[in-house]
Amino acid sequence: AQKITQTQPGMFVQEKEAVTLDCTYDTSDQSYGLFWYKQPSSGEMIFLIYQGSYDEQNATEGRYSLNFQKARKSANLVISASQLGDSAMYFCAMRPVEYSGAGSYQLTFGKGTKLSVIP
């Protein structure tokens, strides 16, 4: 079984500042993937960034970077130079890499962090 924990229900950040959203996970799988999604008030889930458990370098996608610390089982999302449009819910999720039967390939989500960017 997999579990994702996001301990920050809400966060505030000043526009143009950097912010870190926390995510810890628990799994017995050897190979797994970690995802971050953004959900604005419109409801759509926007894929932001992915980190494989065997990737040696931290993933980066534009202003998003993933601070992956495997020994600590953490996968924090760092958003640099926050913009007003970054205000949204952010979900951390994980999934096994190898398919091992029905139901095993699902994404497990955390409860989310609501980020508010202050002008």
Partner 1 sequence: SAVISQKPSRDICQRGTSLTIQCQVDSQVTMMFWYRQQPGQSLTLIATANQGSEATYESGFVIDKFPISRPNLTFSTLTVSNMSPEDSSIYLCSAQGASYEQYFGPGTRLTVT
Does position 100 interact with partner 1 (CB under 8 A)? The reply is no
- Number of residues engaging partner 1 in binding (CB under 8 A): 23
Q: Which neighbouring-strand residues pair with 83?
A: none
| Least distance to partner 1, CB of residue 96, Å | 11
Sequence-separated (6 or more) residues with CB below 8 Å from residue 34: 23, 25, 50, 51, 52, 53, 66, 68, 75, 92, 93, 94
Using the contact rule CB under 8 A, the part of the chain among 11-19, 22-30, 35-43, 64-72 near partner 1 is 35-43
Report angle CA 113, 115, 119 to the nearest 5 degrees.
170
Span between the terminal Cα atoms of the chain, in Å: 41
What phi and psi values does residue 45 have, to the nearest 5 degrees? -105, 115
Does position 64 interact with partner 1 (CB under 8 A)? The reply is no
Closer CB to partner 1, 14 or 54, in the complex:
54
Using the contact rule CB under 8 A, the part of the chain among 10-18, 20-28, 71-79, 89-97 near partner 1 is 89-97
Among 23, 33, 75, 115, binds partner 1 (CB under 8 A): 33
Does position 111 interact with partner 1 (CB under 8 A)? The reply is yes
Q: Are 52 and 81 in contact (CB under 8 A)?
A: no
Does position 28 interact with partner 1 (CB under 8 A)? The reply is no
